[in-house]
Amino acid sequence: MTIEGPATYWDLLWAGGTRYRPLDENELAALKQHAGPGAGRTALDVGSGDGALARHVAQLGYATTGIDCSTAAISLATENSTAVGVTFREADIEGPEPLPVTEGSVHLVTARLVYAFIADKPAFLGRMRRLLVPDGLLWVATPMADRLPDRAWVGISADDEDLLTVGWSAVDITDIDYMRCYALRP
20-32 burial string, b = 16+ CB within 10 Å, else e?
eeeeeeebbebbe
Residue 92 has pLDDT above 90, yes or no: yes
Q: What is the pLDDT of residues 105-128, one digit of tens each?
A: 999 999 999 999 999 999 999 999
Ordered DSSP codes for 109-123 = EEEES-GGG-S-HHH
Higher pLDDT, 142 or 8: 142
The domains of the chain are located at 20-185
Question: What is the percent of the chain where pLDDT is above 70?
Answer: 99
Q: Which H or E element spans position 90?
A: strand 86-90
Q: Which residues contact 119 (CB under 8 A, 6 or more apart)?
A: 2, 3, 94
Chain centroid to CA 87: 15
Chain centroid to CA 5: 19
pTM for the predicted model, two decimal places: 0.93
- Per-residue pLDDT band at 2 (split at 50, 70, 90): low
Domain 20-185, second-level architecture:
3-Layer(aba) Sandwich (3.40)
- Per-residue pLDDT band at 80 (split at 50, 70, 90): confident
